[in-house]
Chains A and B, each alone.
Chain A
Amino acid sequence: MAFGSKSEHILRPARASTVAASLAIALLLNFLPWKDMRLVPDFVALVLTFWCVRQPRLVGLGVAWTVGLLVDAGNGVLLGQHALAYSLLAFLSIWFSRRLLWFGAMLQAAHVALMLAVAQTLVLLVRLAAGDPFPGWAIYVSPLAGALLWPMVSWLLTLPQRRLEREQTI
């Protein structure tokens, strides 16, 4: 898992509590009263992608679907649109999980941007099918912003595991 970057040693497996806490914080960030949602990265999608890539046996489609339902209810949108998108996102992340960590930071971010954009497109298709107007191409700014945050998110989320590892070597 840690083959990707040379500086990393073998990481401790993440605990379920870390996963839950990170998802709760991501939900909180999503629920902040943003001015224009189209320009803000989807933090929940980003954190889900991270865990599906790193811990595909701990976080999978079931978790993604449940969190998606929470986002739907919290945002007051059609029930199931984010659940559907996050399920697809989780599937793509698990599919890419074996190769993604071999890439450098830039290439990883590019892959993440693509996956987030696919999920965003799925939401767009669902809403267009439900009869809503097209909200403008600005909605694709959000996946790009998410991809820019990817290196920071992966650094932050591996922090708890890394600290444990350092204690072990001492």
Chain B
Amino acid sequence: MEHTPPPFFKRGPAPLVRLFFFASLSLALLVLDARFRYAEGLRGVLALAAYPLQRAATAPVELLRTVGDYFSTQAQLFEENAALRAKNLALSQAAQRFETAEADAAQLRRLIGAAEKLEVKARPAEILYAGRDPYSHKVFVNLGERQGVKPGSPVTDEAGVIGQVTRVHPLVSEVTLVTDQDHVVPIQVVRNGLRAIAFGGGASGMLELRFTAGNAEIQNGDRLVTSGIDGTYPAGLPVATVVRIERDAENSFARVICRPAGGVDRGRFVLVLSDETARPPRPEEAQSGKDRRSDKARRARVKEKDA
């Protein structure tokens, strides 16, 4: 006869064993997610499960907003209407000039044989909520995989670049803001065409130009636009304005602080751009001679092409 303990003594494995099990499971997931990005499928499923709760959580805020809209007075509406009409007039004039300029530019580009720029499609989206991670600067918008958003699409508002789509869920997408510590935009100074790279400033909500020479020609108030050489952001979108330059004799690089042009921390509506420019593939990077195997592989590939 076997002696089994009565059922009320059964408590499963010891808590410490369980802690060890779950901790190692989490660590494995963390490494898979952070290093290799293998956990995206699981993340998608879990995000879909959390989606109804998230929508329900934003509902009270929406309701408050709707109620506020309802009680806006007629005078306010009149005023807003007039302002919008004036703005519309100014913008339509600008748009007409832009159209002719664009036609001229296209003709010139054809003349010099440069690649024709494809149109950038923009889709309006609404910011659902700001990311709840204090370690990064992200927002979530109400367009997802179903609406054809692709990771890497630039996101702007009426004033300038907001950020870039970094993760696409079925119904929402995550946008990493330009102020995020890990976010980088290649920029160009409007005044003189100087190229530089703008890094997100993290908690300060600013951008920082790194690796600009101490004697680089940058002034306070310079406007920075995307240079478009990264293949992600189309060229010419406003990014930031220089607000402070610290030149230090000990340091060969200047510290340039810029304020983002777009409403990174305000506003509700943004545009998700889809830039479908056909770009030539990047040239393969030259590798060191030690890496014999890949060298051979490349030669084999070249031979195949020749054959």
Q: Could you show 11 A-B contacts with beta carbons less than 8 Å apart?
A: A31-B56, A32-B57, A33-B129, A57-B11, A61-B21, A61-B22, A62-B22, A77-B133, A127-B135, A130-B30, A133-B181
Instruction: Answer whether A31 and B130 are a contact pair too, CB < 8 Å, given A62-B22, A73-B43, A76-B167.
Output: no
- The stretch that binds B, out of A3-11, A84-92, A101-109, A155-163, is A84-92
Residues of chain B with a CB closer than 8 A to A78's CB:
30, 33-34
Give the size range of A's interface with the partner. 35 or more
The answer to whether the Cβ of B112 comes within 8 Å of any Cβ in the partner chain is: no
Instruction: Answer whether A87 and B19 are a contact pair too, CB < 8 Å, given A37-B133, A77-B133.
Output: yes
- Interface residues in chain A, defined as those with a beta carbon under 8 Å from any beta carbon in chain B: 24, 27-34, 36-38, 57, 60-62, 64-65, 68-70, 72-81, 83-84, 87-88, 91, 94-95, 126-127, 130, 132-133, 135-136, 138-139
- Interface residues in chain B, defined as those with a beta carbon under 8 Å from any beta carbon in chain A: 11, 15-16, 18-19, 21-23, 25-30, 32-34, 39, 42-43, 46-47, 49-50, 53-54, 56-58, 60-61, 128-136, 138, 140, 167, 174, 181, 202-203
> Are A61 and B19 touching (Cβ within 8 A)?
yes
> Are A91 and B15 touching (Cβ within 8 A)?
yes
A21 to nearest B CB, angstroms? 12
B15 to nearest A CB, angstroms? 5
Contact for B46 among A70, A91, A139, CB less than 8 A: A70
> Are B203 and A27 touching (Cβ within 8 A)?
no
Contact for A133 among B11, B133, B135, CB less than 8 A: B135
B270 to nearest A CB, angstroms? 16
